[in-house]
Amino acid sequence: MMIKAYRCIKKRERLLQIFFEQITHLYPQAMDVGFKIKDYIKQVHSIVIPNDELTDLAVHIHRLISYQQLK
């Protein structure tokens, strides 16, 4: 059972890494903003934002950028 759980965790980590790489490639402007936010939070609050959260943030930033360009 432990081996199966370990494999599931490793598979999830790999999928999150692939998603991070894809979003970095597809939305470079949003990722740049996301990295700036990540750095700011680390400096001001001493909290490290993991890459999977950064990826989610970049998707939302990209949506906001796209929405603003439609106006």
CA dist., res. 3 & res. 48, Å (int): 29
Q: Is the pLDDT of residue 1 over 80?
A: no
Amino acid at 30: A
Q: Which domain holds residue 24?
A: 2-70
Q: How many domains does the chain have?
A: 1
> 48 φ, ψ to 5°?
-95, 125
CA 45 to chain centre: 19
pLDDT at 68: 82
Q: pLDDT per residue over 4-54, tens digit each?
A: 888 998 999 999 999 999 999 999 999 999 999 999 999 999 999 999 999
> 65 φ, ψ to 5°?
-60, -45
The DSSP code for 26 is H
